[in-house]
A and B are shown apart, each in its own frame.
Chain A
Amino acid sequence: MTTNAHIEKKRLETPPATIKFKIQRREKEGAQAHWETFELQYRRNLNVISALMEIRKDPVTIEGKQTTPPVWDMSCLEQVCGICTMVIDGKVRQSCSALIDDLLLASNSDTVTLAPMSKFPNVRDLKVDRSKMFDHLKQVEAWIELDGTYDLGPGPHVPNELAQERYAFSRCMTCGCCLEACPQYGDDNYIGPQAIAQARLFNMHPTGKMTAEDRINGLLGDDGITNCGNAQNCIQVCPMSIPLTKAIYETNRDITVNTLFGWLKK
C-alpha cells in the first residue's frame, strides 16, 4: 500500500444557473473578427467541446439572434490528437480537456471566453491552419533514416532511462501551444521549441545520432535556435509537460560541441 499523498481536487460548490460562452467569430481568413455570446444551462461534467456541440445544434445568441454555428476543429477528445487547441479564458490549451467547472472556479465568473490561436492563419471562427508546424518537422528531418522496411531484426539495445527520456519528447502532438505562447515565434522569424524538441528526440536515439548533424543544420538558419529568447513560456503551456527548455539547452550544447569539432578538423 502506498501512502495517500495526493491532494483532493477543489470543486465548484455553488455553480451558476447558466453559463455564458463569449466566442470570437470570423467568417473567413481576412474578414473582420467580432464577438458573439451564447448561454447554456449549467450542468456538471461539461467541457468546452460539449458546450460547443450544443451551441452548434441551434446557434442563437444571448440576444436571441439566430446566427451561424461556430466552427472549430475536434477529433480524439482525449487530448492526444492536438487538433482542438484554442485560447480559452486567455490561455492556450485543448478544448476537450477544458472542464467548465474548473474554468468557472479559476475565473470566479459565469463566462467562458473562446478565441482562436493567434499565431496561425484563422480559417474561420475557432479553426486555424497549423500546417506550418509540419513543415518545421521537414526542416529538421524529424525521422530515423532506415535502410529499408524489410525484416532486419530488432533495433539497437536502449537503456530504459533513455527510452523514457525520449518518450517524453515523443508525446508532442503538434498542438502549437508552445508556439502560441512563445514571444519570439511569428512571421517566420523562429522555428520554435516544437521542432527543436523533435530534433532532440531523434538525436538522442542510437541510430538517429548518426545523422544528428543534418537535423542540427535545420536549426542553424536565420530562423534557427539562436532566436530563442529564453522566456520559457513554452514549458509553462505544454499540455504534455515536454521538457522543451531542456531540448533547447541540450541542442545548443550539441551545436557548440559540433562547432568546436568542426573547427578542430580544419
Chain B
Amino acid sequence: MASSGLKIAIVGGGLAGLAAAMKIAEAGHEVDLISVVPVKRSHSVCAQGGINGAVNTKGEGDSPAKHLDDTVYGGDFLANQPPVKRMTDMAPEIIYLFDRMGVPFSRTKEGLMDFRRFGGTLHHRTAFAGASTGQQLLYALDEQVRKWEVGGKVTKYEGWEMLSLILDDHQVCRGLVAMNLQTLELKSFAADAVIMATGGPGMVFGKSTNSQTCTGSAVGACYEQGAKYANGEFIQVHPTSIPGEDKLRLMSESARGEGGRVWVPRDPMDARKPKEIPDADRRYFLEEKYPAYGNLVPRDIATREIFQVCLEGAGVGGENQVYLDLTHIPAEVLTEKLGAILEIYEMFVGDDPRYVPMRIFPGVHYSMGGLWVDFEQRTNIPGLFAAGECDYSIHGANRLGANSLLSCVYGGFVAAPSAMEYAKNVERGSSESNGAHAAELKRQQEINDSIIHSEGGENQYKLHEELGKVMTDNVTVVRYNDRLQATDDKIRELQDRFKNISINDSNLWATQAVPHARQLTNMLNLARVITLGALNRNESRGAHYKPDFPERDDENFMKTTIAEYSAEAPVLSYEPIDVSLVEPRKRDYSSSKKKA
C-alpha cells in the first residue's frame, strides 16, 4: 500500500458495496472487496421493479420534497428525516448516472427514460429496465468496478466470508477477519476503515424472498462485537410472493403497478376456473377498502389485508392464497413491461400469468432495521460504516417499493466519502504490531476448530429450520406478546442445542457445514434482537402490527429501538427521532387527501 493512499475494506458486493467501491476507487484510493459470492451474483439482482427518483418527466408536478413526504409517511414516521431528504434530493442524479452507464432503461417515444407508478405514491416516479431493474443496476456497477479492478484500485476477494472485525484496544475498527470458503483459510484484512454492505437477514426466517447468502451473519458478528443494531423488529413481509419448498419467490410490486388486481372469489370454494368467475362473484378487497390507492396501497397494508382475508378462510379454496390478476391486460403489453417476472412465475409454478391469475401469499422480504448509523453512515464503532439494507437509516417502519435500490446506492455514495474522510484523519494504529490482528485470527480459528470437533449430535440444518418456522409463525405479519416471549425462549433453546451440533461433513474442502454453522450462530443472535424488539414495542406502526396494541403510539414509541449485545440478552434502549422536516400525521391510505 502506498503510504499516501487509503485502504478501505468493503464487505458485500451488491449495489451498496459496489457503489462505495466505485467512489473510493475514483477518488484514487484502494479497496479490498470481500464477498461470499462473485459480486455479480449478489442479491441485488433479485430486485425487479425499479428505482425511485422524482425526475418529474410526466408533468405531474413531482418533486424530491414529495418523494421525501411519501417515504417518511410510508415509513410511518419512524425514520430520521434528514438522511431521507438527502436521499430523495440525490435520487434524480443517481438515476441519471445509471442512465449514463448504459443501463437499458425502458424509454418513451421521445427516447427519454420512462417512469412507472409504484405503491405508496400517486406519481410516476419509478425508472425501470424491463422487470429486472436490480440486475441491470448491479451489472452497471459491476462493470464500472471491474474497470477499477483492471486499473489496480479494487482487489476482489470473492468466495470469502467475513467472520469478525479487528478492534484495537480502544474499540477502533482496524480491519476484519474473513474465511476462504474453499480452503477454510482465515485471513486478516488490515484497513483504515471498513464499510459493511452485506444486505438483509432474510435467512433468519428460513424461507423468504431473499437469496441464500442473505444470512445477516457478518452484521450479526459486528453486533456481537459492540455495534448497535437499530429497529430490528421492523421486517417487511411482501404481500405477493410465490410459496415454494426451497424459498418464497417474489412477485414484484410492479405487477400491481402495471394494473394487477387482487381478488378472491366471494365463495372461496367456487369450483369454476378463475377466468370463468364473473366480476359480481369476485371480491376485489383492496379496491373496496382503499378506493384512492386501490391495489397500490403500501406493502404492510396489502400484506395484512391479504393475510386477514386468508385467516378468515376467504382465501382461494380456503387456503393461504389469493389471486393476483393481470389477465385483463393485453399479453404483449405484459410481455414487454413485466416479461421477466412473469417468466419467474411460469417457470416455478407452471401457469402463464398472462392467461391465468397468479396465486400468491405474503412472504418475508426486507429488513428496515439494521446496523445503527448516523447521518453520515457511521456506526457507533469508529472506523466502521454501513450502507444498504444492512443499515437501518432510511425506511422507518416500512419501505416503499423501488426505494431499496435507491437507498443502497445512496448509502454507498454517502458511506464512501464518509469513510475516506475518517481514514484521512485517523491516526494509523500499529495494531498489527500490538497484536490485534493475530489475536483476532487466533480467536476465530478456535471457534472454527470447536465447531469442527463438536460431537453432540444436533443437526445444524434442522436447528435452522426450527428457527425459521418459529420466527415466521410469530414474528412476521401479526404479533402477540405471549408468542414473542415464547419465541425468545425457543431461540435460547436453539442456542443451547447449537453447542451440541455435529457437522455432518468429514471433508472440509469447500464444505458448507462450517460456514453455515458460523452463520447460524449470528442468525440466532439477530433473531433475539428482532423478537425482543417486537416484544417491547407495544404499538402498531408500519410493518409491526400487534392486535392488542392496534394504534400507533407516538408519545411512547416514535423512537428508534437500539439493541446492544450482552451474553444474557440484547440490551434495548430508545433514541428520539428527528422529525424536523415533515410533521408526523396519521397514516391513512383510504383517501388521497393524506395531509392532516
Contacts and interface: CB of A to CB of B under 8 A. Distances in A.
Interface of A: 1-2, 4-6, 9, 11, 27-28, 43, 45-47, 49-50, 53, 56-59, 68-69, 71, 73-83, 96-97, 99, 123-124, 127, 130-131, 134, 137-138, 141-144, 146, 148-149, 151-155, 157-160, 163-164, 166-167, 170-171, 173-174, 201-202, 205, 207-208
Contact of B506 (A4, A68, A201): A68
B99 A155 contact: yes
Interface centre among A4, A77, A127 (most CB of B within 10 A): A77
B213 A80 contact: no
Interface in B113-132: 113-114, 129-130, 132
B109 interface: yes
Contacts of B512: 56, 69, 71
Contacts of B351: 9
A97 B344 CA distance: 9
B107 interface: yes
B236 interface: no
A56 B465 CA distance: 13
A152 B350 contact: no
B146 A50 contact: no
A2 B23 contact: no
Contacts of B22: 149
Given A58-B459, A143-B144, 20 more contacts: A1-B328, A46-B245, A47-B348, A68-B507, A69-B505, A76-B41, A76-B212, A79-B344, A80-B46, A83-B37, A83-B41, A123-B510, A127-B510, A134-B38, A138-B150, A154-B96, A155-B96, A167-B136, A173-B41, A174-B38
Interface stretch (B246-254, B264-272, B574-582): B246-254
Interface centre among A11, A57, A149 (most CB of B within 10 A): A149
A153 B113 CA distance: 12
Contacts of B513: 69
B100 interface: yes
Contact of B102 (A4, A97, A159, A205): A205
Contacts, number: 203
A105 to B, nearest CB: 11
B96 A146 contact: no
B129 A167 contact: yes
B345 to A, nearest CB: 10
A227 B531 CA distance: 59
Interface of B: 22-23, 26, 37-38, 40-43, 45-46, 93, 96-97, 99-114, 129-130, 132, 135-136, 139, 143-144, 146-147, 149-150, 158, 182, 211-213, 244-247, 249-250, 275, 327-328, 330-331, 336, 340, 344, 347-348, 350-352, 354-355, 459, 461-462, 504-507, 509-513
B212 A74 contact: yes
Contacts of B45: 76, 80-81, 173
B139 A170 contact: yes
Contacts of A141: 147
B495 to A, nearest CB: 20
A146 B102 CA distance: 10
A166 B328 contact: no
A88 B328 CA distance: 37
A2 B293 CA distance: 26
A142 to B, nearest CB: 6
Interface centre among B41, B96, B510 (most CB of A within 10 A): B41
Contacts of A164: 104, 106, 130, 336
B107 A50 contact: no
Given A28-B509, A78-B344, A151 B97 contact: yes
A160 B337 CA distance: 12
B157 to A, nearest CB: 12
A47 B510 contact: no
A50 B245 contact: yes
Contacts of A76: 41, 43, 45-46, 211-212
26 contacts: A2-B354, A2-B355, A5-B355, A6-B354, A68-B506, A69-B504, A75-B37, A78-B249, A78-B250, A80-B135, A81-B46, A81-B211, A83-B38, A124-B509, A124-B510, A134-B40, A146-B100, A148-B26, A152-B100, A155-B99, A157-B111, A160-B111, A163-B105, A167-B130, A170-B136, A174-B40
Contacts of A201: 102
Contacts of B250: 78
